[in-house]
A and B are shown apart, each in its own frame.
Chain A
Amino acid sequence: NAGVMQNPRHLVRRRGQEARLRCSPMKGHSHVYWYRQLPEEGLKFMVYLQKENIIDESGMPKERFSAEFPKEGPSILRIQQVVRGDSAAYFCASSPPYRAYEQYFGPGTRLTVT
C-alpha cells in the first residue's frame, strides 16, 4: 500500500527559474494539501485541492505560486521565477473524504534556490 509520493526529493533552481513539484496521493484519497516548512519551524498550510478544484488557497502567496490537481495525474505545485526565499521543504499530504484531520504526508521536496 504505497503512501503519499512526492518527486523530486531534492530540487535545485537558480533565481528566476521555475520549480515544479509533484505529489501523488495515497490510493483512495481524493484530497490533497500542500505545506511549506522552513528550517527549525513547523509546517505552514499553502493550499487544499480536490480533483480539478482548488478548495482553499489562503496560504498561497498571491504571485508566482500556483497549484493544480487534474482529473488524471499527480497534483502539481508550481513556483515561477523562484527567489532565494522560496528555499524550503515542501510537503504534500492527502486524506480520505470527510476526514481532513487524518492527513498523511509524503517525504517532501527540498527546494534550494541558488
Chain B
Amino acid sequence: GESVGLHLPTLSVQEGDNSIINCAYSNSASDYFIWYKQESGKGPQFIIDIRSNMDKRQGQRVTVLLNKTVKHLSLQIAATQPGDSAVYFCAENYQGGSEKLVFGKGTKLTVNP
C-alpha cells in the first residue's frame, strides 16, 4: 500500500483564517517530503519541500512542519485566500532507491468567502 496518507479528506475554512493540512507517512528512510497543490483540471503544482534532517521550513505564506518521531507532516497556510482552494497532496522521496514520488490521496481545501 501507499506509505503516505492523510488524516482528513476535506477541510473547509473561512477566508483570512489559517489552514493546517496534515499528512502521515510510514517510510522513515524518506529523504524529502513535498507538498503539491492541484487545482481542478490541472497538474500538481510544487509548493514547498523539506529535507528529512529539518523540522520546519517556511515559504511565502506557507510553513511545513516535519515531526519524525510520529512520522507526521503538516502544511500551514497563513491568511487563506479563495485562490488557495484546491486539493493538496503530500509526497515523499527516498533518494536511496527509486527517485519516484509516493503520493497520499489528498485533502480538498475549500475557502469560504
Q: What residues of A have a CB within 8 angstroms of the CB of B44 in the complex?
A: 43, 91, 105
Q: What residues of B have a CB within 8 angstroms of the CB of A41 in the complex?
A: 105-106
What is the CA–CA distance of A59 and B104 in the complex, to the nearest angstrom?
16
A107 within 8 A of B: yes
What is the CA–CA distance of A31 and B98 in the complex, to the nearest angstrom?
12
Contact with A along B69-113 (1 / 0, CB 8 A): 000000000000000000001010101001111111110000000
Out of B32, B49, B101, name the residue touching A43 (CB < 8 Å). B101
Out of A44, A55, A59, A101, name the residue touching B34 (CB < 8 Å). A101
Interface size class of B (residues with CB under 8 A): 20 to 34
Q: How far is the CB of B91 from chain A (nearest CB, A)?
A: 8
Q: Are B105 and A108 in contact (CB under 8 A)?
A: no
What is the CA–CA distance of A48 and B99 in the complex, to the nearest angstrom?
8
What is the CA–CA distance of A108 and B38 in the complex, to the nearest angstrom?
11
Q: Are A101 and B89 in contact (CB under 8 A)?
A: no
A104 within 8 A of B: yes
Q: What residues of A have a CB within 8 angstroms of the CB of B45 in the complex?
A: 105
Contact with B along A75-106 (1 / 0, CB 8 A): 00000000000000001010100001111111
What is the CA–CA distance of A68 and B104 in the complex, to the nearest angstrom?
27
Q: Are A100 and B2 in contact (CB under 8 A)?
A: no
Known contacts A42-B2, A105-B44, A108-B43; A100 and B103 CB within 8 A of each other: no
Q: What residues of A have a CB within 8 angstroms of the CB of B105 in the complex?
A: 40-42
Which residue, B45, B89, B95, B98, has most C-beta atoms of chain A within 10 A?
Answer: B98
**Contacts from B to A (Cβ < 8 Å):** 2, 31-32, 34, 36, 42-46, 49, 89, 91, 93, 95, 98-106
Q: Other CB < 8 Å A-B pairs besides A41-B105, A101-B31, 6 of them? A: A40-B105, A43-B44, A43-B91, A58-B100, A101-B49, A105-B43
